[in-house]
Structure 1
Amino acid sequence: MTMPERKTLFGFGPGTAVGEVSEILRCAARADRDGLDLFTISDHPYYGGRLDAYATLGFVLGRTSALTGVANVTNLPSRPAPMLARTVTSLSALSGGRVVLGLGAGGYWDEIVRLGVPRLGPAAAVRAMEEAVILVRALSGGGGPVTFDGEFHQVSGIDPAPVPAPPIWLGSVGPKSLAVTGRLADGWIPGRAADWLSSRYRESRPAIDDAAAAAGRDPAEIATIYNLPGRITPSPLPATRDRAGRWVGGSAGQWAEELTAAVLEHGASGFVYFVADDTPSEVALGRWAQEVVPAVREAVAGA
């Protein structure tokens, strides 16, 4: 076993219901206090009962001191790329760099178009995402005015923010979006419940690596961060995966053993935990942050 070169990241993803504001803020405070790295929020602006992702991230970052905020993932079709660039660079400036841009091409198009956004086909949506990555970076880090005349995004003589672009993690699935991830992204979010043993990972990661190598990049530079739902149980489960091979959870010890292997044997870069049963969020978060995460960190550091 070899020691991973990058820090392994651990995060938590709460619900986003407007009626759960108090619980979300308590979880953010606890995650910050207990030393987690990431706090992620889903972005579904077409649902009126859910909080806006970036309003929530701004509020959470203002009330915490160490957590990095991530929209998991940003619904790009509803957020014009130039304004998204202004949003993430402003959050970075306000929080001392504690933000990552999680970005997706758009998945729920029947819902997205209800916002008045023109429908894009899959290939066009991926091209729009690629342009957005390029433009967000161009509008970050200072320098002279930016003019960009793309297929989907155009700006003329816009000054970039004097703030570095945040890391960009793409929630990519199809071959074209995986290739964009390899060419341009800092990280890859495979999708909810797709882990290091899943067919999605085995079939998709080589496409990212090939695209990175073709672009002259080291594929190892592209982190893989898993959204990982599951139960953390008081005692061990007889099976931690279901018949289809999907992770379902187990005791803190079973989680720690599985995640340590994911880091050391499969190169996992990070994990965002989602509660997958009726355990209260604060209880589940406490087990994750105080039992599972320290055990994985200790095992990885000692490998």
Structure 2
Amino acid sequence: MTTAPITYGAALPASARRLPELLEATTIAEELGADLVTVADHPYLPSEQDAWTLIPLLLARTSRVRVATNVTALPFRSPTVIAKGAATLQHTSGGRFVLGLGAGGPYDGLPGWGAQWSTLGQAIGALDEAIPLLRRLWSGRPVTHDGDHYRLRDAVAVAGAPPDPVPPIWVGAFKPRMLAVTGRHADGWLPTNAYLSLDEVPAMQRAVDEAAVAAGRDPSAVRRIFNVMGVIDEGRPPRNDQLLVGSAGHWAEALTDYRERLGFETFVFWPVHGDTRRQVELFFESVVPKL
């Protein structure tokens, strides 16, 4: 069982037609004690607005809650542009930005939208190189880099003082190479229940731990965050697999299990049905108090 403080967040819709819902749910989440709100970054989906344009709006409408990309698709943005944007958001928000980062997916369709890498393997290699490069760019000093995927010469990505604190980097990862990247470099592991079997999680946790140790890191330096997709609804048949569905009590029992048996320290509620505003209210008023 983890002994780290348990924190809670919400994943909110980036759909163009649901913008009022996004803004109101963000306010509700902060008022009800959320630690975090997140927005998915799927620039290749015609139905979704750009996460990096929405994030400043959410930070401006809040005063306490952290705001994260869940997660940034690296193949569409260079490390220099990400570093500049993240440093700007960290400065302007008083340190409330979290950089969720991943290779993007499903990857088969990404090259057709202009992804920088033609294969997922190349994208993972680029991510492995990009994370330490981002931290160098946040130093405020000129960076020269000659790598397999990126080449920079005297690049400066920070306007003014370096960001303080440096934005945490949370990686969305499921497969062995991505889990190894997470353990080597990331500040947080950010998987989603819809894309894994709960039975796989202990082995995935060990893979992150082993990669961290091999890199000379303490595994506890990698926070464990779980995106939990589902719906709080007493009228639906209960589920606890790739979606979590059921009453507030059912949710509380499941999240307790995810904490004690699976080792997660942060839960991000991702409602998949109903009005996001009402679902967020139910999560923070009816589920979190039971924990």
Q: Same fold (TM over 0.5)?
A: yes
Corresponding position of 1:211: 211
Q: Hey, what does 2:25 align to over in structure 1?
A: 27
Counterpart among 251, 258, 261 of residue 247 in structure 2: 251
Match of 1:64 among 62, 65, 77: 62
Residues 164-192 of structure 1: per-residue CA shift (max 9 Å, x gap): 42111111122111111111111111234
Matched, 1:120 2:118: yes
For the pair 1:177 / 2:182, whether they are aligned, the reply is no
Number of the residue aligned with 2:88: 90
CA contact (8 A) 1:226 1:270 kept: yes
2:233 corresponds in structure 1 to 233
Q: Secondary structure at the match of 1:106?
A: coil
C-alpha deviation, 1:202, in angstroms: 2.9
Structure 1 pair 212/234, CA: closer, same or farther in 2 (3 Å)? same
Q: What is the CA distance between 1:272 and its match in structure 2?
A: 1.1
Tell me: CA distance 1:189–1:289, structure 2 relative to 1, closer, same or farther (3 Å): same
Aligned match of 2:154:
157
Q: 1:106 to 1:91 in 2, by over 3 A?
A: same
Aligned partner of 1:274 in structure 2 is: 270
1:285 maps to: 280
CA distance in 1, matches of 2:254, 2:272: 17
Q: Which moved more, 1:172-181 or 1:110-119?
A: 110-119
Distance 1:247 1:32 in 2: 25
Q: How many residues align?
A: 287
- Work out whether 1:199 is the aligned partner of 2:195: no
Contact 1:78 1:115 in 2 (8 A): no
Mapped to 1, the partners of 2:83 and 2:22 lie a distance apart of 26
Of residues 45, 65, 75 in structure 1, which corresponds to 2:73? 75
Structure 1 residues 132, 255: closer, same or farther in 2, change over 3 A?
same
The amino acid across from 2:182 in the alignment is: T
Q: Contact (CA 8 Å) 1:109, 1:119: kept in 2 or not? A: no
Q: Distance in 1 between matches of 2:179 and 2:230?
A: 26
Distance in structure 2 (CA, Å) of the matches to 1:79 and 1:192 = 26
Q: Give the secondary-structure state (helix, strand or coil) at the position aligned to 1:263.
A: helix
Aligned to 1:263: 259
Q: Which residue of 1 aligns with 2:132?
A: 134
The offset of 1:110, in angstroms, is 4.1
Q: Report the Cα offset of residue 252 of structure 1.
A: 1.3
- TM-score in terms of structure 1 length: 0.87
Residues in 2 aligned to 1:74 and 1:82: alpha-carbon distance in whole angstroms: 14
Asked if structure 2 preserves the Cα contact closer than 8 Å seen for 1:188 and 1:222, the reply is yes
Residues 78, 112 of structure 1: 8 Å contact kept: no
Contact 1:190 1:200 (C-alpha < 8 Å) held by counterparts: no
1:226 Cα deviation from its structure 2 partner: 1.0
The superposition leaves residues 63-107 of structure 1 with CA deviations (integer Å, 9 ceiling, x where unpaired) of 101121111110100011110011111111111111111111122
Alignment of 1:34-45 (within 5 A): 34-45=32-43
What is the RMSD computed on CA atoms of the aligned residues?
A: 2.0
Once the two structures are TM-superposed, the CA of residue 194 in structure 1 deviates from its matched residue by 5.1
Structure 2 Cα separation of the partners of residues 219 and 272 of structure 1: 21
Are the counterparts in 2 of residues 69 and 100 from structure 1 also a CA contact under 8 Å?
Answer: yes
1:301 corresponding residue in structure 2: none
- 8 Å contact from structure 2 (residues 228, 268) kept in 1: yes
- Partner SS for 1:35: coil
Distance 1:240 1:174, change over 3 A: closer
Q: How does 1:97-112 map to 2 (within 5 A)?
A: 97-112=95-110
| CA pair 145-119 structure 1, distance change in 2 beyond 3 A | closer
Amino acid corresponding to residue 214 of structure 2 in structure 1: A
- Provide, for residues 242-300 of structure 1, a one-character-per-residue CA deviation record: whole Å limited to 9, x for no partner: xxx445322212212221232234321111112233x221111110011212322xxxx
Match of 1:49 in 2: 47
